[in-house]
Amino acid sequence: MVFALYHVWVLVYEALLLRAFGKSGALGGVCGGGILWILLAVIGALVGESFVEDAPHGGRFTFLGLLAGALFLHGPLVLIVASTLMRRNHKLVSRAVAASAVALIVLGAQAFFVEPDWLEVTHYRIANDKVVRPIKICVLADIQTDSVGDYERGVLRRAMEERPDLILLPGDYVQSGDSLERKQAVEDLRALFRETGVGAPLGVFATRGNVEDNAWETIFEGLPVTAGSATTRHELDGLVLTTLSLADSLDTDFDLPEEEGLHVVVGHAPDFVLGPLRADLYVAGHTHGGQVRLPFFGALMTLSNVPQAWASGLTEFERSGALVVSRGIGMERGYAPRMRLFCRPELVVIELGPPE
């Protein structure tokens, strides 16, 4: 309802602005109307944000969703009309405005229809003198779907083509506010894990994310997946794996015992690396790489306390170990705009080996 009312509001003041500033086609009038349009779009989004408080970050995501609608849906229309009004007296400016409208249409198409399903497979090789034999780890972070389909099937199949020794699932599997939709998505995801034969010699380990409900572990019942909400130590062949609880992954003061051999720690959020570093490899998701990234600026937000430079990709620490944060496979849903821009979804493959 908030989104529908916002778009009606935008249409109304667009009509009023065009009537007030557009009759003469004067450059100053049209530019002034454009600036006022931006201000009113932001004010309207702030008002809409205030009505949504029933979900984590719901207000912030609503604000971004409303602005995305104003920018990519209404923006091209306003620019095309402005270009038409200025065509007679300001031809060069008119063409520049028309080009801006085309650019917005292209960016919108990329953000909403191309990038969300444009998977990138990223390989990292990390050398460590504790590695007895090479170990390949697949990270399937933030599947975060409300409707399992061909895209998710392709991702899982691509992961299995890597023939990993270990698979890590750092949380956020199904996100839906509708109980029936969520139930169906859980059943479909379980079926897809069976169909694609997800498994690995050292095991598949799942931690809890922040969109999960208390029954999230049922997603993996009957599957070769070790799922748990508590922080747990697992002794595997050639390494020790610690899977973190959601709370511990978000704890910037989190500490854990140091292990003699190779130690891998996986949690949903990467914030735990701000505490003492006592492991060799830290793996996380949660940030989506920002989901929307701007040239020369980076991620608009990561919902994490780690520096933006750490919130995506590989970070090697001088003190101890390396951090790998995946941009994730899915995207934020609910109140958030379902878009990715300059931030493709990502399947991460980590190859641990001895120094060459």
pLDDT number for residue 46 = 65
Inter-CA distances, 253 with 233, 245, 256, 271, Å: 19, 14, 10, 9
Q: H or E element: which one contains 150?
A: helix 150-161
pLDDT number for residue 71 = 85
What is the CATH topology of the domain spanning 119-353? Answer: Purple Acid Phosphatase; chain A, domain 2 (3.60.21)
Where do the CATH 3.60.21 domains begin and end in the chain? 119-353
For the question of whether the overall pTM of this predicted structure is more than 0.85, the answer is yes
Q: What residues contact 331, with CB distance under 8 A and at least 6 apart?
A: 116, 142, 144, 288, 291, 338, 339, 340, 345
Write the DSSP string, 243-257.
EPPHHHHT-TT---P
pLDDT number for residue 249 = 98
pLDDT number for residue 18 = 64
Q: H or E element: which one contains 349?
A: strand 346-353
Among residues 235, 19, 269, 14, the alpha carbon closest in space to that of 142 is found at 269
pLDDT number for residue 85 = 75
For residue 294, the cross-strand partners are: 298
pLDDT number for residue 144 = 96
pLDDT digit string, tens, across residues 159-212: 999 999 999 999 999 998 888 999 999 999 999 999 999 999 999 999 999 999
pLDDT digit string, tens, across residues 11-59: 676 666 666 655 555 666 666 666 666 766 676 666 655 666 555 555 6
Q: What parts of the chain have a pLDDT lower than 70? A: 1-11, 13-37, 39-41, 43-59
